[in-house]
Amino acid sequence: MSTDAMIGSYRIVPANLAPWRDLSELLGTCAAASRCQCQRYKLARGESFARLGGEELAHRLRTQTEPEHPDAQSTTGLLAYSGARPVGWCAVQPRTAYAGLLRVAKVPWQGRSQDKADDGVWAVTCFVTRAGFRRRGVATALARAAVGHARHAGAHAIEAYPITTSAAISEEWHVGMVGMFENAGFRQVSAPTSRRVVMRLDFAEE
């Protein structure tokens, strides 16, 4: 997906095609997201949110989503709009873009053999939904859009690492639920912890 797409009632836009003010505004509506600026899995060893500070984290995200960024064709995520209002965010990129994810011991690696250097596998790592639009299908629409986005960019597979119980999920920021990924065509391939599963869609098997 290199341009806008309508999924249900939401218009989905790659981040490098959306105004920075829209993404900044959306993340600012969620305390966890405003602290993280979608950099959790991109921090180098020894880095932390507290040490870097919000201004630096926001600068990194803005750089990653600029149209002229070297990875602009893959961008770093998708924005969902209801009319002209940004209402949701989904982080999706080649799995290799998430240095922190590659260092995680259990999710997504435990119980299966994977080439961590395979940049043809993409990953969906988080969602943010604006208050007033939660439980209205925003994240589900973004999960479906992430599939088309990864496929368009040449990925051969896309993964997600959702929570299995709604009791453990935030209303505003979360890694997704199993059902929304099933709706987008993913299937479970492993269960590395009691609360997290790995879901995957291999495009060659569709």
Highest mean pLDDT pick, 17-21, 107-111, 149-153, 157-161: 157-161
Q: Among the listed ranges 7-21, 62-76, 114-128, 152-166, which one has the minimum average pLDDT value?
A: 62-76
Quote the CA–CA distance of 47 and 27 in Å, as a whole number: 21
Task: Provide long-range contacts, Cβ within 8 A and 24+ apart, for 139-142.
Answer: 139/88, 139/90, 139/174, 139/176, 139/180, 140/180, 140/183, 140/184, 141/7, 141/8, 141/10, 141/12, 141/80, 141/88, 142/7, 142/10, 142/12, 142/78, 142/80, 142/88, 142/89, 142/90
CA dihedral over 128, 74, 15, 2, signed as positive or negative: negative
Please say if the pLDDT value at position 171 is more than 60.
Answer: no
Q: Is 42 within 8 Å of 126 (Cβ atoms)? A: no
Q: How far does the chain reach from its first CA to its final CA, in angstroms?
A: 18
Please say if the pLDDT value at position 10 is more than 90.
Answer: yes
Quote the CA–CA distance of 131 and 115 in Å, as a whole number: 38
- State the pLDDT confidence band at 36, using cuts at 50, 70 and 90: very high
Largest CA distance in the chain: 44
- State the pLDDT confidence band at 74, using cuts at 50, 70 and 90: low
Q: What is the pLDDT of residue 71?
A: 58
What average pLDDT does this structure show over 56-62?
93
Rounded mean pLDDT of the chain?
A: 89
Distances (CA, A) of 169 to 47, 65, 202: 25, 27, 26
Percent of the chain with pLDDT over 70: 91
Percent of the chain with pLDDT over 90: 65
CA dihedral over 76, 78, 84, 86, signed as positive or negative: negative
Please say if the pLDDT value at position 180 is more than 80.
Answer: yes
Quote the CA–CA distance of 115 and 7 in Å, as a whole number: 32
- The neighbouring-strand residues paired with 160 are 124, 199
Q: What is the pLDDT of residue 128?
A: 94
- State the pLDDT confidence band at 195, using cuts at 50, 70 and 90: confident
Q: What is the pLDDT of residue 166?
A: 64
Q: What is the pLDDT of residue 169?
A: 54
Q: What is the pLDDT of residue 205?
A: 76
Please say if the pLDDT value at position 126 is more than 90.
Answer: yes
Please say if the pLDDT value at position 70 is more than 90.
Answer: no
Architecture of domain 5-205: 3-Layer(aba) Sandwich (3.40)
